[in-house]
Structure 1
Amino acid sequence: MSVMNLQVNPANETGDKGLSIRFLVTGDSSNGSIAAFELRVASGLRLLAPAHSHDHYEETIYGIEGVLTWTVDGKPIEVGPGEALCIPRGAVHRFDNNGSADAKALCVVTPAAIGPDYFREIFAMFHAAAGGPPDKAGMMDIMRRHGLTPAAPPPS
């Protein structure tokens, strides 16, 4: 019987502009069955990344503190403490913190198709932008390489 590489909280990814990720379980430690991370979002933060979908996994959000507004297939859904939302494969979604309090949520991805490397690359792009807008084409390339499908921009 082999023993897996057991690890508690394998990655802390501090983001930029009030967004941070702390991985609690990665695919490497769960035989690819689950990834779970804590998402912290500063009050009033509108996500810079485009809405997206994923065809290979579900994402379940559990609210811990504050309220995040998840827009799923065009419908805004507020998720607060003690509430859960399962985003099915293929559903176009994004989130924002429209409130006056910081928010924290647990995100569970099944199977574990995304990990810390995605967030490291995205956060590096934010840092490289030095306060300006990130390179949208580069961001979309990173998203696609990690199994996210950027949504078409909304009509003007």
Structure 2
Amino acid sequence: MATTTRVMKATPEQVWDVLADGWLYPLWVVGASRMREVDTDWPELGSQLHHSVGAWPLLVDDNTQVVEVVPGRSMTLHARARPSGVAAVKITLEPTGEHTRVVIEEDAISGPARLVPRPVREPGLKWRNTESLRRLAYLAERRSARDD
């Protein structure tokens, strides 16, 4: 499982606010290009984001579902990204003073990506999640600056 970490200059509540707004998903998740729909109960257990991946005109409609959640603390998602398969993604928020340590753990759980040896697939996941955390930090820290 690829693990990526970043300390953000925002409170866990400010980071969670970004995660809890499903419409922001394509702003911080590398590869997600647009939102089609967000379940009204997002991010409750079983709720889904309906998004597209890729670049126009080669877009594929997919979804991401919450499979575990501790509000304000962590969520585990099953993210579909056809044709590569489904990934399990766990996002954990850990308070560190006035900041938040955000950890993303991700790995393929089904589909063709699962056939790629772990040492080959992990560097790509690490790179993608490093950029995703950078984008998430921009959004959460902006909220932090507004709250000051």
Scaled by the length of structure 2, the TM-score of the pair is 0.30
Higher helix fraction (1 or 2) = 2
Scaled by the length of structure 1, the TM-score of the pair is 0.29
Higher strand fraction (1 or 2) = 2
